[in-house]
Amino acid sequence: MPHGDDTRYAVVSCHVERPLDDAVWARFSRLQGRAPGGFHIAALIRPPDQAAGEGEAEWLERAREAASRGPFGLHTHWTSPSHARPTPGGEGPAARVRREVDWLRERGLEPELFAGGGWYMDDDVAQALADLGLVDCTGTAFTPSYLPQDASRLAATQPTTLELPSGHRLAEVPATHSLGMLARAVIGPLPPVVHAYFHDTDLLDRKRGVALELALCALRFRRPPGRFPQAP
Ligand SMILES: [Zn+2]
């Protein structure tokens, strides 16, 4: 595997939204196991939502499997499985992140990465991530079409280190391409570092699954599989 140039590489992550859905999990699991194009897909996984009746035992088994096959991270949905961004009056977003990371660690799972649901980010969440030693993947190089212009998010085009108001530092690896963007971009201009992301639920559509694998196999010739940076 060419690793000579650490300024031009690609990483791939999946927002694992429905780990307890057998059909979705089977497809994600197979794909992550195959590592198409040599890309070890990072599983950014949503913890079970007890209020929504999601059980812990099967979730843990699947999360451990995902963690054994590639980089592992937390994907927090602040409101519910189907509502990713925080709602006013609920648990504070940063408190939720700290609680979920503690919950994972108590169960022997060590998240290295984080992606906020609905691309939500604020200063307190960033500080929590720095304190917890995680690398953030919530930034995006594109503006998510469904978010209002003034929505709290993090715009970044390439991996960087953020200086937080506290003086602490947070490594940021923004998503540069969605699955659809990657399929179109892989034959055109690409930034030095590509971070492609998709959702596990994308894999329910066979055409999208095939498009993803083809895009990753093509991407490999333009940007070698790299590693997510470590926390500073
Ligand atoms: Zn999500």
Q: What is the pLDDT of residues 120-171, one digit of tens each?
A: 999 999 999 999 999 999 999 998 888 888 888 899 999 999 999 999 999 9
Report the DSSP pairing between strands 160-163 and 169-172.
antiparallel
Number of domains in the chain: 1
pLDDT at 5: 62
Q: In this structure, is residue 163 part of a structural domain?
A: yes
Q: In this structure, is residue 195 part of a structural domain?
A: yes
pLDDT at 6: 73
77 alpha carbon to ligand 1 midpoint, in Å?
6
State the CATH number of the domain containing residue 203: 3.20.20.370
Domain range for residue 92? 9-219
Q: In this structure, is residue 230 part of a structural domain?
A: no
45 alpha carbon to ligand 1 midpoint, in Å?
8
Q: In this structure, is residue 226 part of a structural domain?
A: no
pLDDT at 221: 95
> What is the C-alpha to C-alpha distance for residues 31 and 75, in angstroms, rounded to an integer?
19
Are 117 and 84 within 8 A, CB to CB?
A: yes
User: Within the chain, which residues score under 70 in pLDDT?
Assistant: 1-5
Q: In this structure, is residue 164 part of a structural domain?
A: yes
Q: In this structure, is residue 95 part of a structural domain?
A: yes
pLDDT at 186: 86
113 alpha carbon to ligand 1 midpoint, in Å?
14
pLDDT at 2: 42
126 alpha carbon to ligand 1 midpoint, in Å?
18
Q: In this structure, is residue 73 part of a structural domain?
A: yes
Q: In this structure, is residue 1 part of a structural domain?
A: no
